[in-house]
Amino acid sequence: MAAVSLLSTSGLSRSFGGLRAVHDVDFELPEGEVRALIGPNGAGKSTFVNLLCGRIAASAGKVRFDGRDVTSLAAHRRIALGMAYTFQITSVFARLSLHENVALAVRRKHRGDAEAVRRGVEAALARVGLADRAEQIAGDLSYGHQRLLEIAMGLGQAPRLLILDEPTQGLAESEVEDFKALIRSLAGETTVLLIEHNMSVVMDTADRITVLNFGEVLAEETPDRIRANEAVQAAYLGTG
């Protein structure tokens, strides 16, 4: 039986002037899968993710989420449907505590239920290894720990789709290993789209990998097949 698609695009395109940043991308992400999105710098990864999230409008094509056409929906409405995302630049509230940061996200899910919010915050911080820092001011965290806080804010929304853009940037090697364990623990619980340059993270966590190059899908396969793909080696992995 085929897996149910949670997120899909058809003919998705975005041009900036004469530059085709994303061109005619057909993409399908089954529910419960961990998918990595990789490609060389300038391949269109960030533009593609911004199109999925509703941060920029498509020039052509469609985005569907949970069977619904969301192409024209604003970003906040897509969040309300169950998307959560973190981006390369952290967006934590530097003057608030970690608990307060995550509570802002959790309240979207549990409006008016203070006890549910408290439990949700504690669970999200524990999930990323920051439970003992709940009262610390977010701005005092290292960059890597701010990335983890952002992930906790995403998890606190209990999303159906969690999009993580360069989540291991700034993490120490031991923290990267913890991050891999976190992603594995999410398998089947939520669908994950991971945009990541660290190939160890990609190969160790992804069920499948989509490779973008010049705004188009170059390949889409399991990690082993991507590693052996000569076109991917030439374009991105540097072994061709």
Does any domain span residue 91?
Answer: no
The sheet carrying 208-213 orders its strands as 83-86, 161-165, 191-195, 34-38, 208-213, 216-221
Which pLDDT does position 183 carry in this prediction? 94
Rounded CA-CA distance 84/92 in Å is 14
* Low-confidence winner among 57-66, 181-190, 205-214 (lowest mean pLDDT): 181-190
In the predicted model, is pLDDT for residue 2 greater than 60?
no
Could you give the percent of the chain with pLDDT greater than 70? 96
pTM of the model: 0.91
Does any domain span residue 201?
Answer: no
Which pLDDT does position 237 carry in this prediction? 62
Structural domain count of the chain: 1
Does any domain span residue 48?
Answer: no
Average pLDDT of the residues in 15-42: 94
Does any domain span residue 224?
Answer: no
Domain housing 144: 96-156
Confidence band for 112, pLDDT divided at 50, 70 and 90: confident
Q: Per DSSP, what are the bridge partners of residue 164? A: 86, 194
Average pLDDT of the residues in 174-195: 92
Does any domain span residue 144?
Answer: yes
Does any domain span residue 147?
Answer: yes
* Low-confidence winner among 35-44, 65-74, 85-94, 119-128 (lowest mean pLDDT): 85-94
Report the amino acid identity of residue 58: A
In the predicted model, is pLDDT for residue 201 greater than 90?
yes
Question: 123: buried, middle or exposed (CB in 10 Å: 19+, 13-18, 0-12)?
Answer: middle
Rounded CA-CA distance 101/150 in Å is 9
Does any domain span residue 119?
Answer: yes
Which pLDDT does position 121 carry in this prediction? 97
* pLDDT tens per residue across span 7-27: 999 999 999 988 999 999 999
